[in-house]
């Protein structure tokens, strides 16, 4: 396997975790503060409860979110702050 192949595999693995709009928006909300289902639904307009629960289950399976009274990001989940902030900054600067 070449370095290019490993880079592509790592990129695809990252996209597999956060490669859809709803997952990114849920993570964005949890980066601000832990939240319960209702707060997450309020913070992500258009997201339905069933889909939210599916996303939270998947994030929990990937060790990015902990369940309790509220959902909160794990240390691994908080490590997404940098990449997602960079993506948001890129969008702000380039997609006006």
Buried b (16+ CB within 10 A) or exposed e, 71-96: bebeeebeebeeeeeeeeeeeeeeee
What ranges do the domains of the chain cover? Answer: 3-94
CATH 1.10.10.10 fits 3-94, yes or no: yes
Q: Between the CA atoms of 26, 32, 37 and 43, what dihedral angle is there, to the nearest 10 degrees? A: -70
pLDDT at 2: 81
Q: What is the pTM of this model?
A: 0.88
Give the pLDDT confidence of 42-90 residue by residue, as tens digits: 999 999 999 999 999 999 999 999 999 999 999 999 999 999 999 999 9
């Amino acid at each position: 396997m070449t370095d290019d192949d490993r880079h592509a595999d790592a990129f695809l693995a990252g996209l597999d975790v956060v490669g859809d709009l709803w997952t990114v928006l849920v993570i964005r909300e949890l980066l601000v503060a832990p939240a319960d289902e209702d707060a997450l639904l309020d913070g992500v307009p258009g997201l339905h409860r069933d889909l939210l629960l599916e996303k939270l289950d998947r994030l929990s399976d990937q060790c990015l979110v902990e369940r309790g009274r509220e959902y909160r990001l794990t240390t691994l989940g908080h490590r997404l702050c940098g990449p997602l902030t960079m993506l948001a900054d890129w969008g702000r600067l380039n997609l006006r």
